[in-house]
Amino acid sequence: MSHLLEVKNLDVKFDTDEGRITAVENISLSVDQGEVLGIVGESGSGKSVTAKSIMQLNPGNTSYNEDAQIILDNENVLKFTSKQDLKKIRGGKVSMIFQEPMASFAPAIKIGAQMVEQLLIHKNINKDEAKSISINMLKRVGIADAEKRFNQYAFELSGGMRQRAMIAMALSTMPKLLLADEPTTALDVTIQAQVINLIKDIIKEYQMGVIFITHDLGVIAQVADQVAVMYLGSVVEKGPVNEILKNPKHPYTKGLLQALPDINNLDAPLSPIPGNIPSPLDRPTGCVFRTRCPHHNPEGKDGKIEMKLIEVEPGHWVDQCGIQCGQNGR
Amino acid sequence: MGDNLISVNNVSVNFDYQENFISKKQKIHAVNNINIKIKKGSFFGLVGESGSGKTTLGRAILGANKISSGNVIFHDDERDYDLTNMNKQDLKEYRKKAQLIFQDPYAALSPRMTVRDIIAEPLEVMKITNSRQETDERVRDIAAKCRLNIEHLRRFPHAFSGGQRQRISIARALVSNPKFIVADESVAALDVSIQADILNLLKQLQAELNLTYLFISHDLSVVAHVCDVVAVMYLGHIVEMGPSRELFKNPKHSYTKALLSSIPSIDPEKRSEAIELKGEIPSALNPPPGCVFRTRCPNPGIDCKGGEIKMGLTEVEPGHWVDQCCAL
């Protein structure tokens, strides 16, 4: 069976004044229809850059490697250059929900007008049809008084409502793939619970593939089917959500779990991961995590072990250096 | 009163609000009739959603917001400071003793000052030290306590990561040797691995320097981990307050229960046990009369639905206070 989305050997580099930065290195991922792939990692780990490459939204100084492939519906989107083709992936087959809904709506245009505009671009329909689709979608995401909200501006809505409107807008074009970049981070927990449930319902209803980016392992546990853990531009561990959270192998994944305050176990000490995430300008050679790894083996420490994912259980892949360190560290 | 550092008595904070110049003047009831006592050496947590008045209360205690009614007393060793009735000289003294750590370490530090100057600024402004040498000594001393290296002091903030910047903010807050610290969402902008580090640092400094914290956060698991006493705020009111273990194990108020159940569980097999609250926090311009939570309460009683029950805390266990509407 072919996947809805397949990312193969993707490198993303940015040319900056200080030199060439490797933001993402050798990433391979896949998403099926109706499946949620969660990407977790700290800030600067390349989660958003990966998602943005799927829509080619990275800035002009970006370069991709020659053999990288991002295959969506049997087409390599990295080869798209014409406006016509790009339109297909930007809002057509792929939609994106951003972290800060206030920043993603144009402040001086009514919400309804923004929703209609993008429908007119992507669908072959007239204005009235677009309006009724938009209002129905606003109702679907649980916005009361959808007709009234349609004629309001983004600042008139509360945070949770704005995020619902953003979801409605992203879904109204019926994308096959939804990219959700930290969609609940700016929300309060009670509103976050509402939005997570909404996203889950909608995925079930429309059977789309979803990439869900977050730094919150709790949110991942609630929504994802598959998880990829990223660190400094590389995937260090990936697999089914149950495996990753209950049986983590890589010291970074373990570290993340131990650093998380658990409300059910208040006696457990909070153990931070020592050190700081290195600057992407001096990315470590070999295992990227070795500068902070608490249990490194001698060769891993010197950077002699190449990054390479190995399947330890069916579907559960771990970086080869991390497997050894994970065993050392218990 | 010997072991309390701060007493907050019936404090309300209102803001004037006028939609445009011809419309009627209204009042935003940001904080309503709050009574709390913060013990010396305690880690007092304040939780609640955005718009619940946590920050306003924190700022009122620091004297950064005008208090509309009630008073705040700071019990120092020799004397008490009444914040509602303080002259300029007293306010200057109080500023040395009560400090604030901000949420966003990227916005809180001036990009044009070196780390040394940032940390030294309070000493110079408050005229605590007399010579440059003395200032440098204090700066180096506090920087070491906050685990900053001496060579960091010559650099500018842009060279540092979020966690390091937050340590610089902490050093700046602590350099005047305060007794009371308000930490307003101080770990919210940090990654989990760094968050744990900063929390441990705050705890360690508390023991070393004999500090008392008011820790404001929206993250219940963080509060549960570090705080001794927790107050839960909703729409300007405290709805539940008590020792943190007791409160998290045995929550009484339906808002606290809903908040706790909304924390996404790390266990993928325990999905969606959240008590889902309908709707959103009402506007503080015209809060519902009676129990403020009743518009979203999942199981309101007959009396409180009509708003007949007034807000007010009752003690259900020693030290564990719950709003009377839910305690019934």
- Chain A residues touching B280 at Cβ < 8 A: 158, 160-161, 191
Residue B216 resides in a domain: no
Q: Which of B165, B55, B48, B60 is nearest to B104 (CA)?
A: B165
pLDDT digits (tens, 9 = 90+) for B192-207: 888 899 999 999 999 9
Query: Are B259 and A246 an interchain contact pair (Cβ–Cβ within 8 Å)?
Result: no
- Give the global pTM: 0.85
Query: Are A263 and B260 an interchain contact pair (Cβ–Cβ within 8 Å)?
Result: yes
Question: Using beta carbons and an 8 Å cutoff, which residues of B are at the interface with A?
Answer: 49-50, 161-164, 191-197, 199-200, 218-222, 224-225, 245, 248, 258-269, 271-272, 274, 276-277, 280
Statement: residue B184 has pLDDT above 50: yes
Statement: residue A229 has pLDDT above 60: yes
pLDDT digits (tens, 9 = 90+) for A70-98: 999 888 988 888 888 888 888 889 999 88
> How many Å separate Cα B300 from the centre of its chain?
29
CB B291 within 8 A of CB B325: yes
Of A224 and B271, the structure prediction assigns the larger pLDDT to A224
- Chain A residues touching B277 at Cβ < 8 A: 190, 193-194
Q: Where in chain A is the domain with CATH 3.40.50.300?
A: 5-93+175-329
CA distance A232 to chain B (A): 14
What residue in B sits closest to A194 (Cα-Cα)? B276
Tokens 């100084």, located at residue:
A61
The total of other beta-carbon atoms located within 10 Å of residue A22's CB is 18
pLDDT digits (tens, 9 = 90+) for B88-125: 899 988 999 999 998 888 888 999 999 999 999 999 99
pLDDT digits (tens, 9 = 90+) for B206-215: 999 999 999 9
pLDDT digits (tens, 9 = 90+) for B16-47: 888 788 888 888 889 999 999 999 999 999 99
Count of domains forming chain B: 1
User: Which of B50, B261, B271 is opposite residue A222, by nearest beta carbon?
Assistant: B271
Per-residue pLDDT at B61: 93
**DSSP string covering A84-107:** HHHHIIIIISEEEE-S-HHHHS-T
Spell out the CATH class of A5-93+175-329: alpha beta
- Chain B residues touching A221 at Cβ < 8 A: 264-268, 271
Per-residue pLDDT at A10: 93
What residue in B sits closest to A45 (Cα-Cα)? B191
Q: Does A217 touch chain B (CB under 8 A)?
A: yes
Report the C-alpha gap between A16 and A59 in whole angstroms.
Answer: 11
What residue in B sits closest to A275 (Cα-Cα)? B194
Pairing between β-strand B237-243 and β-strand B229-234 as defined by DSSP bridges: antiparallel
The A residues from 179 to 208 touching B (CB cutoff 8 Å) are 188-194, 196-197, 200
CB A42 within 8 A of CB A215: yes
Please give the residue range of the domain that contains residue B261: 237-328
What residue in B sits closest to A215 (Cα-Cα)? B191
ipTM of model? 0.79
Per-residue pLDDT at A304: 78
What residue in A sits closest to B203 (Cα-Cα)? A270
pLDDT digits (tens, 9 = 90+) for A261-280: 888 888 888 888 887 788 88
Pairing between β-strand B69-75 and β-strand B229-234 as defined by DSSP bridges: unpaired
- Chain A residues touching B164 at Cβ < 8 A: 276
Element (H, E) at A7: strand A5-16
Query: Are A260 and B221 an interchain contact pair (Cβ–Cβ within 8 Å)?
Result: yes
Residue B148 resides in a domain: no
- Chain A residues touching B258 at Cβ < 8 A: 190
CA distance A199 to chain B (A): 12
CA atoms within 13 A on the CB side of B64: 11
Statement: residue A327 has pLDDT above 50: yes
Residue B276 resides in a domain: yes
Non-local CB neighbours of A203 within 8 Å, separated by 6+ positions: A34, A36, A178, A210
Query: Are A221 and B268 an interchain contact pair (Cβ–Cβ within 8 Å)?
Result: yes
